[in-house]
Structure 1
Amino acid sequence: MPRNLRIGVDVGGTNTDGVILDPSRSSDEDRGILAWHKAPTTKNPSLGINTAITTMFEQAKISPDDVASVTIGTTHFINAVVEMDQSRLAKVAILRLCGPFSKHAPPCIDWPDNLRSLICGHYALLKGGLEVDGDLISDIVEDEILEQCKIIKEKGITSIVVNGVFSPIDTLYLQEERAAEIIQKAIPDADIVLSKEVANLGFLERENAAILNASILPFARKTIKAFQTPIKKLGLKCPLFITQNDGTVLLAKTAARLPIRTFSSGPTNSMRGAAFLVENEAKENLMVVDIGGTTTDVGLLQANGFPRQAAAFSEVCGVRMNFSCPDVKSIGLGGGSIVRKTDGKMTVGPDSVGYQIQTKALVFAGDTPTTTDYTVASDANTHIGNPDLVKGLMQEDELVEYKSIVKAMLEKVIDTMKTSPEDLPVLLVGGGAVIAPDSLKGASKVMKPKYSGVANAIGAAVARVSAVIDTVESTEAKTTAEMIEEVSARAIEKAVEGGAARDSVKIVEMDSFPLQYIANKSRIIVRAAGDFDHERVNVDDTEAEIDEATTDETAEVIEAVSTKETSQAASQDFDIDNYRPLVKGREWIISETDLDWISIGCYILGTGGGGSPYSSMLRLRSIIREGGVVRVVNPNDLKDDALVGCGGGAGSPTVGIEKLQGDQMMEAQHELYDLIDKKATHMIALEIGGGNGLQGMILGASTQMDIPTVDGDWMGRAYPVKWQTTPVVFENNRAVFLPSVMCDGNGNVVFMTKATSDLMVERVFRAGLSQLGSSVGCAEGPVTGADTKKWIVEHTISLSWRIGRAVARARQFNQIDNVAESIIDEVGGDGSAKVLFKGKIVGCDRTLRMGHVYGEVIIEGADANEPPNGKKQYRNKMKIPFKNENIAAYEVEADGTEKVVGIVPDLICVIDAQNGEAIGTPEYRYGLLVIVIGIVASEKWTSTPRGIELGGPKGFGMKDVDYVPLGKFSKPKSVIDEYAEQ
């Protein structure tokens, strides 16, 4: 037999599964599966892996020389974090190379308090970091780093993260690498994690992933050592792999250094295994329900055989990271879930006996009632353990109640994961699938294919090698297409270096994003994947350099993670419907709940632009937590002689996710008021859409200013340029926003005190922006309260709050299918807004002109399944052109003709169908399920010809298209008016 057999083993918290698979026979009835094994996970994983492989060898009658690879999937690393096991999580020190930036979003700022206190032991913000074009913000300073090393040593911390601004594109200065060399000399026994090796662009999210990676490094080394031991003992002369989040594999030595990449491999393995099992049968989307011993993971397997991906960010225990993972929902239901009766009420889970099911469950002579016990008692044909031990133990009404609870739990999570009301097939996999009923509401059919109980192991066995390049490249001398070709070649080489056979590697994903306000620069992301090249591997080189650990010590480590039970009681859901914001004396005092909802609403009102409010939300939340008071007032309460200041950020969203704000916003305000020798009494947001929607509150609540923010803005949305504002609509004879100031936060300040028009101010500032790192803070000269009341788009902070509340409510009550309708209700109902389209993004083109990203996104109708007769039918499509923000929505007919169904100044908002979050134009990518909502623009834009000229189609160069309103504008209801003390 040729040396091409693959062994897949999944070491779960409850069971260890294994398969031996011949991929050349995958089309056979048995899918090429020569042997399989399932047994409870042992205290010592080496013993469990050894038993699984030995047993399968005996079944298949093969020799070690026939095996080409062993791949192991494990949940142990993520479990250590999920269960917050202090004995397995090391304290971490974080050294940022950031210069004056990111100071308002310190490390772990967005973590849950308990996890932050457990892991984050020290941090420092040091000189260093790059601009997006590769130039230095500042170079690193060795003495600074050495000073921090002394503090870190005194604290007894040996796990250290180094994170530099734009480090993933740093191939010249190598700041993270140089800093690591300094640290290693000062602290020889330190585990040093470079953020650029862990994840890609996205400063906070990459840092978060690096911190978690550093915290579990010692535990990961011991665990992988335990995995390697049985491979050697069995005489297998083949490489050992660990599966990672995207369904591909890492060599053991790489996984021991980057265990974070394995965090979400369990659900991915299950879904890839499910795809393998039904690849010759399934011609439609499937819901995969993987029921293990402790949890049930549910995800959508698309007709192409790949899992539906979540958005660009994912969360583990409330920690946000920039790994793209399968969109999976987990609930505390498994074969070992504990069933209790308290005061006559039955509960199932979320705690579980886990791998101890064969000693604790009733059918195995234990004393803990589990779902497996109730399932066996309900069905005499379920041959698990000793059915006689539960015979007659449960009353019939108890069994009926149990089955009803399990059925409802599964139906609820399936319904949550669906994006349309239509039924679809459900594929049950996992060792705990026996507890699931044969029919489920929302399922057109329930399938349980042969070998479904070891789908995780199958997914591990068939995993491939991949590599990702996420970089910023110059397109000055070469076209974007040529640069993508070059980056693709680098991705292929990286995959080959990772072990892939060159002739099998293919580019499976690519995207490019021109960067605003940066000449000839594009962000390019390419993923390559291929089969492992078993011919050229040196097995000795694949082994990890791992700390030696005794068998007993390693067993102790694994047992601690596997057996720990959830002790936290389920907290009561937050009562959204009865929440009342605090309004005191006509001032709305913003709470963290208010802030969360406002942030969601701001991004939706950004109409694809404005940048994510996430980092601004963190800064404002910090102000609140530090005792600052964020006050919002009704514009109708302004005195005519009030002075309303304005400030915000300008720049590229790609820069914004890396070079987080320093003090440039506040510096711009100080420079302005020093110039004009007077100060604002109130602040207002330039635009409510995106991150700038929070800037008025950030500036107003700062200790330097401490003034209220007006409930409104100058756009009612986001627009790409400053002259597309309502003051410019109503003030035609002068430049409104003068004087204006621009600061880059790195010591450079630009003033403009005189200009012929706001258009000229915009042009000058945009030109300067490209030379100042493509991210600046701006301050505009204050206007009077009287003018504010004439020009303002009223109550848009209130509107953002209401939109965010609608999204939060839809999530809490699992009504995401109706989230668009809930948003529409908040903006005035069907007469003021409507759902324009629901579907999947199937294409997106971008180009850069005059500093702005132009492009269009194509969305295909939601039903992506072929009709039963197999004949292709035309699927409705929508085209949305954008210039930073969405400009219009075109319905594309079968003959290619296009009909305008929504256009500026009306708002064209694209939201994620899976969670209700806004999707910005930089985030458009193939496969995202979206809902397009149209909202009628404020009358401040539509009541005059000049407003329609500046903010409508002609303001975007569309001279042959007229504005036709979607409906009638409905003025947002003021939160202050509604909730003011009577």
Structure 2
Amino acid sequence: MSTPSRPRHLRIGVDVGGTNTDGVLLDPSLAASPSKGIISWHKSPTTANPSTSINRAITALLASSSSPSFTAVPPTSIASVTIGTTAFVNAVVERDARRLSRVAVIRLCGPFSKHAPPCVDWPDDMRALVLGYFALVKGGLEVDGSLIGAIDEDEIRGKCAEIRALNQQTLENGDGKGSRAITSVVVNGVFSPIDTVRYKQEERAAEIIREEMDGSVDVVCSKEVANLGFLERENAAILNASILSYARRTIRGFEEGVRRMGLTCPVFVTQNDGTILSAEMAARLPIRTFSSGPTNSMRGAAFLVQDGGRKGEEGEGEAMMVVDIGGTTTDVGLLLANGFPRQQAAYSELAGVRMNFSCPDIKSIGLGGGSIVRKGDSDHAMTVGPDSVGYRLTKDSIIFGGKILTATDCTVLADPSLKIGNPELVKGALTDEELATFKTIIRQKLENAIDVMKTSPEDLPVILVGGGAIIAPTNLKGASKVLKPEWSAVANAIGAATAGVSAVVDTVRSTETKTAKQLLEEISKEAIQKAITAGATPESAKVVEMEELPLAYIANKTRFIVRAAGDFDFSRTDLAPDTTDPTSEQDIEQSEPDSSSSTTTTTPSPSPSPPPTPHSPPRHLNLLPYRLLPHLVHLRDRPPLDLHRLLYPRHRRRRLPYGAMILLRQLLRAGAVVRVVDPLDVPDDAAVGCGCGAGSPTVSIEKLQGDEMMQAQTELYKLLPESIRATHMIALEIGGGNGLQGMSLAASSNMDIPCVDGDWMGRAYPTKWQTTPVVFDERSPIWSPIAIADGNGNVVVMPKAVSDLAVERIMRVALSEMGSQVGCADPPVKGDEMKRWVVGNTISQAWRIGRAVARARGENRVDEVAEMIVEENENIAAVRIADSDLEGGEDGELERQEDVLAIVPDLISVIDAQNGEAVGTPEYRYGLLVVVLGIAASDKWTGTARGIELGGPKAFGFEHLEYQPLGTFVKPRSVVEEFNVEE
């Protein structure tokens, strides 16, 4: 039978993996048929040149067919070629100087972010390899869209001149080709993702740079790459810029290969959310392809078990779990009812670089067909993995004549009909009891991974794909059904072939004149139009996901995130392959760098250079002998170690303290000394000052701290008599970023005074009147006079107030008009007052918690992290949430026994049971295994009725609840006292 005459109705999907390249040719109009429309498929080892692998796969697909309806496929019938590739992410992971270019960064930030320069949190070798220059210039927006400052075009032109001079110097001193010259410039503006209508500062700066550099560099606007989160967006933009030249060459190579085979259809590349990018867009934003591999597998698996990958058995969309079992690892991801993989919350990390671009939420466990099985003995239980024979399965496993017992061996022993290897060789390898134990281990590992990834307790369909899927049982707890579809071995290529088009709008809008519902309607229309512009058919484009996030401490401001998606419009001709010359002079120079180039080479810069980082912590630390010596904590020798321990449970996931940690670390790296003293060692006549940051967490992740903290202190002391100057500093609260502000202000490069080991809360509270000095009420108001500064030249000083509540309310009004983020300076109190009011030794306690988490990881005892934290801190109790906390109800459903175990002012902290890290409320979801820590409140709160009134349940609207102590408060052990010894 001849090939159908319909033009351009077939799709080719190719996924280039590190080991194999998979390809599939399918007819989407036959997706509901038993064949799923799959005409042919191909799998072969990946070659060094991904273009060669792609060409071989496409040639094989066009020449063969698994369907009797097709004998040969004419090129004119191909509507699209969609490619998934790991080439770009591998360039970053491998730190390949041949594929990564040097980048300059120009920040539009005004007076902000100078304490956290570009790449400040990168591994040293990555920063040296990629960052060639940076400059901080005027510009940036506030959260409400008003200006921090207008851009200075002459200033930007001057920075371009410096980049040209630097490149010229590199050319003269280098190999003559300028292979390590700067070839890309990133422009990053404060709150640039919301700068879409009026100012468009990043776009204007990019125009100037292109004019000044005569097109010799690529220019990347950060807002095109990622959304809110200044450092994370900048990091993503820098990585994207560093691989632009390589991506352009690679994608042009893809297109050239396709054209040489007589195909004139558009070429697409799959991105992280399961949709496609045009080749042109992928060459501009290659970072969006970094995590497309797992996504392709998930989308392909769904296609194989659903009607075209869109409908469940009842015709409605349904969520499903995809379990991709390979030779070494198993990747588990959730495909939502909208047909797209669930994305990670907060941020992602690649090659030690923290970013916030969209990535699928995948859990990987050390389980695969090659997992090594150890039988165990009387003292040790049987284990399966996490180590594996990997690609040596066909040589090392017993069924293939090897000597290592693997999961595949045990599976064949249980079911010889699988016809894998020689089943006779594995007979007797396990007893019946041992085989049953093996099956139980496999089942439990998969069930636990599935449960962690679920978003509700309801059972979901589970799809098994990958070459190692044979080891999985056909029934799993938490699965409504377990499916092992045909063609699952090339699910990733199927996912590429069937990918659609998506677009996201992430913006902050005012709800003062329009309701949230009205704004969502407007933004949804924007997202749909954006998807259509990207290539979706108008009739299929629809909103598939929306999120509404009111901004904390900011009136009438809400962040909206809306995603729209649809099928690709194959009638579009504006996305056809580019027929221009696939190479350029710049690309040729970059493609063949001098062999003597080093990944650690740095080039002198006439602008502020990246800070020296000789003290980054080694990857493997022996933490047990490490001591903090805080009577004089001189951290120049090891600053990252100490701060890493202090913030270990909190800074990695939660955004709020991250900027404060970076600021303090930079001060220490620049040579500052921080002295931490025991509260009891402070003289009675001392003056103990306090400073804090106030504002919205959303603003703090975008408008990084400048000098507002010290500006507020300076303005405050202009009001006070000369005789009153702070001799010591103390933190307002130990929680969040303010837990570090006392040390930052006290550092020798700022106020050069000791910091008290304690704070005014012993935890975090939302207001200044919820502090222990207010509880004691020995003088009121305690928090006036007060000064706040926004870091941009605006200062508010309040010399007098009638109450601390009035201070809070009035300052909050001013705060909203000052960019929703300020530095605050409080008047000093006397040393003897501090001793009565302070919650003491909280810096010591934070450090001990961090050390316990670090020890748990270093000793591979993360499952005991709660116990280790409790061991370090006598006033902390731990509660694990497990199935044993559930009981059966009358209807047979599980019910949770409810009781109040802890309530304010006791502190409740939730940590991830898998790694010991703190879990912020945005990350709460069903299936997350957690340990809940209860920390008994200081007797400064619980010792009086006033303390319970200000900090207890009724202060938060829980009128029906009475405070019941979690336990007896035990004052944290002082690190100063314990380790204050001479060395």
TM-score of the two chains, using structure 2 as the length reference? 0.80
Corresponding position: 1:291 with 2:339:
no
Matches within 5 A, 1:807-822: 807-811=853-857, 819=865
C-alpha spacing 1:553/1:119, structure 2 compared with 1 (3 Å): closer
Matches within 5 A, 1:882-921: 902-912=902-912, 915-921=915-921
In the alignment, residue 131 of structure 2 is paired with which amino acid? Answer: C
Corresponding position: 1:88 with 2:99:
yes
Matches within 5 A, 1:266-665: 266-278=293-305, 286=321, 288-291=323-326, 296=329, 298-301=331-334, 307=341, 309-328=343-362, 419=452, 429-430=465-466, 449-535=485-571, 537-538=572-573, 541=576, 543=578, 547-548=582-583, 573-576=620-623, 578-583=624-629, 591-601=639-649, 612-665=656-709
In the alignment, residue 671 of structure 1 is paired with which amino acid? Answer: E
Say which of 70, 76, 80 aligns to 2:87: 76
Matches within 5 A, 1:773-812: 773-811=819-857
1:280-320 CA distances to partner (integer Å, 9 max, x unpaired)? 7999975724537xx74623436857655433200010100
1:789-814 CA distances to partner (integer Å, 9 max, x unpaired)? 11111222222223333444455566
Alpha-carbon distance, 1:10 to partner? 0.3
- State how far apart, in whole Å, the 2-side matches of 1:124 and 1:307 are: 38
Does the aligned pair in 1 maintain the 2:301–2:488 contact within 8 Å? yes
Does the aligned pair in 2 maintain the 1:160–1:192 contact within 8 Å? yes
In the alignment, residue 168 of structure 1 is paired with which amino acid? Answer: P
In the alignment, residue 122 of structure 1 is paired with which amino acid? Answer: Y
- Match in the other structure for 1:34: 39
Say which of 274, 277, 280 aligns to 1:253: 280
Say which of 210, 216, 226 aligns to 1:184: 210
- State how far apart, in whole Å, the 2-side matches of 1:18 and 1:94 are: 39
In the alignment, residue 822 of structure 2 is paired with which amino acid? Answer: V
- State how far apart, in whole Å, the 2-side matches of 1:63 and 1:383 are: 40
Does the aligned pair in 1 maintain the 2:744–2:750 contact within 8 Å? no
Does the aligned pair in 2 maintain the 1:517–1:769 contact within 8 Å? no
C-alpha spacing 1:169/1:439, structure 2 compared with 1 (3 Å): same
- SS of the residue corresponding to residue 310 of structure 1 reads coil
1:521-576 CA distances to partner (integer Å, 9 max, x unpaired)? 111111112221223x11654549774279x9899889x9xxx9xxxxx9974334
Alpha-carbon distance, 1:409 to partner? 12
Alpha-carbon distance, 1:130 to partner? 0.7
- State how far apart, in whole Å, the 1-side matches of 2:461 and 2:53 are: 34
Alpha-carbon distance, 1:827 to partner? 4.8
- State how far apart, in whole Å, the 2-side matches of 1:431 and 1:862 are: 37
Structure number having the greater strand percentage: 1
C-alpha spacing 1:965/1:253, structure 2 compared with 1 (3 Å): same
- State how far apart, in whole Å, the 2-side matches of 1:446 and 1:554 are: 52
- SS of the residue corresponding to residue 121 of structure 2 reads coil
Alpha-carbon distance, 1:975 to partner? 2.7
- SS of the residue corresponding to residue 503 of structure 1 reads coil
- Match in the other structure for 1:345: none
Matches within 5 A, 1:77-116: 77-116=88-127
Alpha-carbon distance, 1:425 to partner? 10
C-alpha spacing 1:100/1:284, structure 2 compared with 1 (3 Å): closer
Alpha-carbon distance, 1:186 to partner? 0.9
- Match in the other structure for 1:885: none
Alpha-carbon distance, 1:634 to partner? 2.0
In the alignment, residue 298 of structure 1 is paired with which amino acid? Answer: D
Alpha-carbon distance, 1:665 to partner? 0.5
- State how far apart, in whole Å, the 1-side matches of 2:416 and 2:249 are: 38
- State how far apart, in whole Å, the 2-side matches of 1:929 and 1:331 are: 15
Moved more, 804-813 or 309-318: 804-813
Does the aligned pair in 2 maintain the 1:724–1:951 contact within 8 Å? yes
- Match in the other structure for 1:974: 974
Does the aligned pair in 1 maintain the 2:325–2:367 contact within 8 Å? no
1:225-264 CA distances to partner (integer Å, 9 max, x unpaired)? 1111232233334322111111221111100100011111
- State how far apart, in whole Å, the 2-side matches of 1:555 and 1:747 are: 44
Does the aligned pair in 1 maintain the 2:319–2:336 contact within 8 Å? yes
Alpha-carbon distance, 1:149 to partner? 0.7
TM-score of the two chains, using structure 1 as the length reference? 0.80
C-alpha spacing 1:802/1:458, structure 2 compared with 1 (3 Å): farther
Does the aligned pair in 2 maintain the 1:7–1:18 contact within 8 Å? yes
Alpha-carbon distance, 1:742 to partner? 0.4
1:689-709 CA distances to partner (integer Å, 9 max, x unpaired)? 111111111111241322222
Alpha-carbon distance, 1:438 to partner? 8.5
1:686-743 CA distances to partner (integer Å, 9 max, x unpaired)? 0111111111111112413222222211111211111110100002541112321101
- Match in the other structure for 1:11: 16
Alpha-carbon distance, 1:946 to partner? 0.5
Does the aligned pair in 2 maintain the 1:582–1:588 contact within 8 Å? no
C-alpha spacing 1:645/1:555, structure 2 compared with 1 (3 Å): closer
1:30-72 CA distances to partner (integer Å, 9 max, x unpaired)? 4433221001123443332222122222215343344332211
**Structure 1, gaps ≥5 residues long:** 339-347, 364-368, 398-403, 565-569, 840-860, 879-890, 892-898
Alpha-carbon distance, 1:86 to partner? 0.4
- SS of the residue corresponding to residue 14 of structure 2 reads strand
- State how far apart, in whole Å, the 2-side matches of 1:813 and 1:748 are: 50
In the alignment, residue 649 of structure 1 is paired with which amino acid? Answer: G
1:917-971 CA distances to partner (integer Å, 9 max, x unpaired)? 3344566689877665544322211111101111123323444443333343343
In the alignment, residue 233 of structure 1 is paired with which amino acid? Answer: R
C-alpha spacing 1:415/1:923, structure 2 compared with 1 (3 Å): closer
Alpha-carbon distance, 1:349 to partner? 12
C-alpha spacing 1:333/1:288, structure 2 compared with 1 (3 Å): closer
- Match in the other structure for 2:775: 729
Does the aligned pair in 1 maintain the 2:548–2:559 contact within 8 Å? yes
C-alpha spacing 1:306/1:706, structure 2 compared with 1 (3 Å): same
- SS of the residue corresponding to residue 524 of structure 1 reads strand
- State how far apart, in whole Å, the 1-side matches of 2:336 and 2:205 are: 47
Does the aligned pair in 1 maintain the 2:866–2:878 contact within 8 Å? no
- Match in the other structure for 1:707: 753
- State how far apart, in whole Å, the 1-side matches of 2:268 and 2:389 are: 29
Does the aligned pair in 1 maintain the 2:728–2:754 contact within 8 Å? yes
C-alpha spacing 1:133/1:600, structure 2 compared with 1 (3 Å): same
- State how far apart, in whole Å, the 2-side matches of 1:691 and 1:877 are: 35
- Match in the other structure for 1:160: 185
- State how far apart, in whole Å, the 2-side matches of 1:924 and 1:353 are: 35
Does the aligned pair in 2 maintain the 1:168–1:471 contact within 8 Å? yes
Q: Tell me how large the CA RMSD over aligned residues is.
A: 4.8
- SS of the residue corresponding to residue 644 of structure 2 reads helix
- Match in the other structure for 2:939: 939
C-alpha spacing 1:29/1:594, structure 2 compared with 1 (3 Å): farther
Does the aligned pair in 2 maintain the 1:586–1:634 contact within 8 Å? no
- Match in the other structure for 2:717: 673
- State how far apart, in whole Å, the 1-side matches of 2:410 and 2:584 are: 44
